[in-house]
């Protein structure tokens, strides 16, 4: 009897049978050990050799990744987050006497007030948020910028020439809107006034800025504003903005306008309820007089 596979030839000898006598020509002996743990050092050495062979690919991938990150940091405008919290204490929710004012709004309704146009529109007007300066380095030049009620929206370019002369243009308009010299007011044709100090500006410098409509500015600001209740009767608000200092200023102004509007709503509610109480008092007094008259009769 031969221990031979008719298809693949001699069959390997299991190690448990290596002590038995078997014809040498019918078996072959593998040169590896069974159930022996592999050495970790050999694996690490093999991995190191593979990495070394591909070192240029690894270095190239690192350089490309760094280049993409650097480019993205220059092209993508950074954004910052400002946070604030406000406590809502509605007079109608606490304990009191038999006569007290009711709740002005449901508790969760105050977040809708916080993000409403009634709050945001005054902020846009007070802080001049219809104006957007393209280059942050030019912000100081706009300290004297004043928008008129009918300022025309669009993308503007102020081109400073030699000797402090300048030219104002707007995208979509052919030709130059205005020309002038040092100290002259800019923007009369577009219903805004601006007298920047151009003495420190190099010749052939372009200063770019954009004017939005009030509706567009309100919508843009509202899209960046979030408000919700972090705890019972505590509003947590967050504003995402491109400038950290201006973002904090805007959120503070929003909170201030919200307080003004909330107090106005409370006052209106109180007045309505006082008028209602007067009517109820007059009606009760009339009913008492009628009752006394019937008793006397």
pLDDT value of residue 102:
54
192 alpha-carbon distance from chain centroid: 30
Mean pLDDT of 53-66: 76
Mean pLDDT of 61-85: 76
Residue 233 pLDDT exceeds 80 = no
Contact 167, 156 (CB under 8 A): no
Residue 101 pLDDT exceeds 50 = no
pLDDT band at 205 (very low <50, low <70, confident <90, very high): very high
Would you say residue 92 lies in a domain?
Answer: no
pTM score of the predicted model: 0.62
Residue 244 pLDDT exceeds 50 = yes
CA distance 134 to 216: 17
Residue 91 pLDDT exceeds 70 = no
Would you say residue 155 lies in a domain?
Answer: yes
Would you say residue 143 lies in a domain?
Answer: yes
Q: What is the mean pLDDT of the chain?
A: 78
pLDDT value of residue 267:
78
Would you say residue 206 lies in a domain?
Answer: yes
Would you say residue 111 lies in a domain?
Answer: no
pLDDT in tens, 151-170: 999 999 999 988 889 999 99
What is the total count of domains within the chain?
1
Range of the domain at 178: 131-211
């Amino acid at each position: 009897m031969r221990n031979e596979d008719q298809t693949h030839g001699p069959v390997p000898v299991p190690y448990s049978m290596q002590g038995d006598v078997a014809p040498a020509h019918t078996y072959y002996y593998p040169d590896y050990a069974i159930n022996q743990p592999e050495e970790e050092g050999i694996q690490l050495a093999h991995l190191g050799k593979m990495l070394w062979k591909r070192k240029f690919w690894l270095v190239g991938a690192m350089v490309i990744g760094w280049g993409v990150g650097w480019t993205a940091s220059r092209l993508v405008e950074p954004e910052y987050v400002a946070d604030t919290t406000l406590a809502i204490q509605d007079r109608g929710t606490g304990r009191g006497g038999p006569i007290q004012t009711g709740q002005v709004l449901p508790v969760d309704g105050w977040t809708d007030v916080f993000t409403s146009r009634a709050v945001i529109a005054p902020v846009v007007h007070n802080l001049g948020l219809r104006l957007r300066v393209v280059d942050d380095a030019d912000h100081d030049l706009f300290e004297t910028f004043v928008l008129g009620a009918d300022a025309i929206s669009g993308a503007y370019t102020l081109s400073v020439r030699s000797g402090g002369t300048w030219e104002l243009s707007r995208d979509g308009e052919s030709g130059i809107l205005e020309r002038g010299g040092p100290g002259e007011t800019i923007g009369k044709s577009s219903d805004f006034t601006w007298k920047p100090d151009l003495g420190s500006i190099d010749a052939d410098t372009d200063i770019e800025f954009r004017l939005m409509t009030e509706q567009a500015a309100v919508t843009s600001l509202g899209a960046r504003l979030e408000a919700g209740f972090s705890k019972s009767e505590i509003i947590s608000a967050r504003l995402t903005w491109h400038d950290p200092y201006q973002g904090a200023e805007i959120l503070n102004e929003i909170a201030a306008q919200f307080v003004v509007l909330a107090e106005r709503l409370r006052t209106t509610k109180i007045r309505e309820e006082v008028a209602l109480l007067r009517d109820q008092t007059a009606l009760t007094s009339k009913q008492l007089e009628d009752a006394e008259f019937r008793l006397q009769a």
